[in-house]
Amino acid sequence: MDRSNIEKIAKTPEDRVLLAKVWDKIGTGLRKNIPANTCFLSQREQELCRYLFGQMDGLTAFGGYADAERKMLVYLPDYLDESYFREEDAPLVCLRATFYEGDSPTHRDFLGALMGAGIGRETVGDICVGNSSCDFFVTAEIAPYVEQNFLSAGRTKLRLERISLDQVSVPEPETKEIKDTLASLRLDSVISAGFRIGRSEACEYVTAGKAAINGLPCEKPDKAVAEGATVSVRGLGKIKLYSVNGQTKKGRISVVIHRYV
């Protein structure tokens, strides 16, 4: 581990501040051989941290469920395993907000109400809105404050309760499945197939700085996209390179792409 890498990895002054805080937090846990965790990180922030720490033993990203977008970076000493996340002193808590089904508050309503209650974005993980309830994750430290102060989302009255991670209800995201063959897994090729636009147009989006892979901006059209990576393009939306299925008889790469709708 090398702290000087922060300067090489950070793209902005805010990145440097974030990475320095993460370094100190995780480093303290490592030195004392105790669990340590960050607040919730965006996908972009998680990618920056992966570059910083590499494949460090005991380091994991966890957001409450397998496919969470916002996750904490957690150091677990060798005397702990991931069952730690289900214990009383776990670093995150899942809260369920129930409401009258006819009100239909949205993700934006919940996020706006949380921010309006003075709750920092970094203390809130994924927000999973269902028909009559919303399961969302917060840091253990902020949970009591949320329980006392988060009483409504817009005009919708809420009733909060803590639930176990086994009870979490995550709505399936609406996606459109696209099957295609590509000459390569270049970013512009994946964008072209996923959004059904020409490759030259896809290239323009990338070089204009409108594309990101797993939250990290990328302006290189020939950047390889890994299986499982999400690609967002400002003005078009988000896709996921769901699977790469080998080559066809003509030497092209068979892929399945999920486009979020």
pTM: 0.81
- The per-residue pLDDT for range 181-238, each reduced to its tens digit, is 999 999 999 999 999 999 999 999 999 999 999 888 899 999 999 999 999 999 999 9
Give yes or no: residues 117 and 62 share one domain: no
- The boundaries of the domain holding residue 66 are 5-84
Residue where one domain finishes, among candidates 24, 57, 84: 84
Which of 189, 185, 238 shows the shortest CA–CA distance to 210? 238
Give yes or no: residues 103 and 66 share one domain: no
pLDDT at 246: 87
Give yes or no: residues 9 and 79 share one domain: yes
Tally the domains of the chain.
Answer: 3
Alpha-carbon dihedral angle through residues 217, 219, 225, 228, given to the nearest 10 degrees: 20
pLDDT at 1: 65
Residue where one domain finishes, among candidates 148, 167, 186: 167
Give yes or no: residues 253 and 193 share one domain: yes
3-state secondary structure of 5: helix
Give yes or no: residues 97 and 148 share one domain: yes
The CATH code of the domain that includes 51 is 3.30.1370.160
Give yes or no: residues 256 and 226 share one domain: yes
Low-confidence ranges of the chain (pLDDT < 50): none
pLDDT at 16: 94
pLDDT at 62: 96
Give yes or no: residues 72 and 128 share one domain: no
Give yes or no: residues 204 and 243 share one domain: yes
Give yes or no: residues 107 and 158 share one domain: yes
